[in-house]
Amino acid sequence: MSEIRVCGYRPLSGEIKIQGSKNGVLPMLAASILQKGTVQFTNVPIIQDVACMVGILEFMGCRCRLEGSRLSVDASEIEHTQIPKEDVGKMRSSILVMGALLGRKKRAVTWYPGGCTIGSRPIDLHLKAFSCLGVQVKEEEGRVEAFADTLNGSRIVFPFPSVGATENALLAAVLAEGETEISGAAKEPEIESLCRFLNQMGADIRGIGSGRLRIRGVKELHGTEFEVPGDRIAAGTYLIAVAAAGGEAGILNAPWEDMQEVVQVLRAVGATVEPFSGKPKRAGIEIKMKGRPKAIHLATGPYPEFPTDLQSPMLAVLTRAEGTSIIEERVFEARFKTVGELWKMGAQIEIMGNRAVIYGKNRLRGTDVKAWDLRGGAALAAAALAAQGETRISDCIYIERGYEDICRDLRCLNGAIERLSP
Ligand code: UD1
């Protein structure tokens, strides 16, 4: 069983370069099957979810080559239109291959997706978007089959923003006949980078960055080169770890523009957060944190609001705050599983529906805890760095789905953290 050991209660300091974005690269990998040549990605994060997506693409018939953080995807031949069931169970983003398969082959078969256990996570909006484009969908005992003779551009209206459904709608629409308009689209930076990537391959998408995307279908797409942007959630995790444990750090490659709400929240808890000013001049963010955090009220929401993926890490900070804080989770209904683990470390948190009330105390204490999901696991690492004594985090395999090497990164920040078993 994979385990991480942390000896906490000492301030962090140092610099790290942030990995490429997990949520950015996954839809782009799916999108690469829309073209019949080769796509070259750089700055690809070496994480489990990327390995899983590459496995799915290879199963479809793509030839993929990963060298360091460079990945090439040759999608000249796509033989299969079925996504392997075991991969679907491992990773929710496998659903994104569906939109791309529909665009390329007009047929896709999948199963209800897996991923982190943070809520019911239905796919009704994805299927609704496909139906709007003229796709027929048959669902039977968890198997979902979608097919069409032609995909026809249409108006897709989402009742609320869904990142995955917006991405799937885009993937299915770029090669459809005629024009598509997606209203109520999610505005996350990862959608913006997906649109830029698709346009670079020859797609015609306008309104990028807004909630109303307009797509003019094109006949075909071509290969290209693309650099995966820095991971704003990994960057946020490390900034939050510094806010929890104290100290100062430079997080290179962190996308400052995309992280304004996170910056505001960190400033509200008492940290000094600025664009990276070190030499040589590079993109990034620096943070300084002295003393105990201040208590705050925080609500998660779709971008540009505070990201739900950083909600659990923020819990770790607020357990140490002076006063009582509230976090309202407004994206997923079951994202407080990590609270039970923080209790074991001495945190005082009450859950009331979708709200966590956090009664701050001076210090947490290290103990044995378990990662329940990707971001919750990372939150425990942040809490452990702030806690007195030793913490062991079991099931850290979840953390590896999204972080290249959380121990390596936090050791660069002087954290006493190591992975114990295989
Ligand atoms: C993506 C991110 C995830 C992040 C989430 C919200 C990736 C790979 N994952 O997940 O890290 O936490 O955005 O920022 O990019 N919903 C429906 N029906 C649907 C689809 C979604 O009801 O068909 C609901 C979900 O249950 C949730 C909300 O919409 O309550 C938002 O989910 P969504 O934006 O779709 O999240 P994901 O794309 O799964």
Sign of CA dihedral 122, 126, 132, 134: negative
Say what the pLDDT of residue 210 is. 97
In this prediction, residues 400-421 reach a mean pLDDT of: 94
Testing ligand 1's pocket by substitution, the residue of 157, 162, 258, 305 carrying the most ligand atoms inside 8 A of its CB is 162
Residue 114 has pLDDT above 60, yes or no: no
Testing ligand 1's pocket by substitution, the residue of 121, 328, 335 carrying the most ligand atoms inside 8 A of its CB is 121
Give the span between the Cα atoms of 20 and 175, in whole angstroms. 27
Which residue is closest in CA terms to ligand 1's atom 5? 163
Residue 116 has pLDDT above 60, yes or no: no
Which residue is closest in CA terms to ligand 1's atom 31? 162
Say what the pLDDT of residue 120 is. 57
116 assigned to active site = yes
Q: What is the pLDDT of residues 243-265, one digit of tens each?
A: 999 999 999 999 999 999 999 99
State the pTM of this model: 0.96
Looking up tokens 């000013």 gives 277
The burial class, CB within 10 Å (0-12 / 13-18 / 19+), for 36 is middle
In this prediction, residues 355-366 reach a mean pLDDT of: 94
The burial class, CB within 10 Å (0-12 / 13-18 / 19+), for 19 is buried
Task: Give 333's pLDDT tier (boundaries 50, 70, 90).
Answer: confident
In this prediction, residues 302-317 reach a mean pLDDT of: 97
Set 116, 132, 396, 407: catalytic member: 116
Ligand 1 pocket list (CB less than 6 A): 23, 26, 92-93, 119, 121-126, 162-165, 186, 190, 307-309, 331-332
Give Cα 102 distance to the centre of its chain: 24
Testing ligand 1's pocket by substitution, the residue of 116, 124, 131, 163 carrying the most ligand atoms inside 8 A of its CB is 163
Rounded to the nearest angstrom, the distance between the alpha carbon of 164 and the centre of ligand 1 is: 6
